[in-house]
Amino acid sequence: MTNAQRRAAASRMAEMNGSKPVPTSSSAFCPHEAGAYYLTDVGTVGNTINLFSKDLKPPVHTYDIITVNFDLDPETGRWIWFDGKKNQSPRKNQDGWRLGSKKLYDTREGAEAELQREMVKNGDRVTKVHDLPDDATALKKIRSAHHPDRNNADADHDLYQAVVEKLDRMRAASQ
């Protein structure tokens, strides 16, 4: 019986007993008790380059956090994650675990911090409704400062729209 088969048998016994997997002393990956891990995904949309175009536009970036829940492969005894195309197993390097070319984060906060670094690097600023303050007067100040009808060259239309959505949600919740 190989070490992988022993680990697989031990984890199957642990699953049958209803307990969490116990990390082995080897360097093999074993999920933490919280369960999920997180991957960051930064993609580009519409970045086709026309060499003869006069008005080149920078690519639009998309930022996403993928939740990863590992499953134990009974045949090999390794922890795998199916990404929609193939099964992937985490691998260890100097600064932690990786899945493919991406770093695995134990907490969502770590993944969000990485996305913020990527946004700064790409020169993007994404405002989500839940990132805005919960104070209605502060929201109204932001809304008026970025109102698109005031011929304000510095107006941020995405921020204005996010504030309007947040105020609408707060109004609906209070009724």
Spell out, as residue ranges, where the chain has pLDDT lower than 50.
19-25
pLDDT value for 127: 56
120 phi and psi angles, rounded to 5 deg: -65, -40
125: CB partners within 8 A, 6+ apart: 119
Looking at the chain, the whole-number percentage of residues with pLDDT higher than 90 is 2
pTM: 0.53
User: CA nearest 164: which of 135, 143, 148, 138?
Assistant: 143
Q: First vs last Cα of the chain: how many Å apart?
A: 65
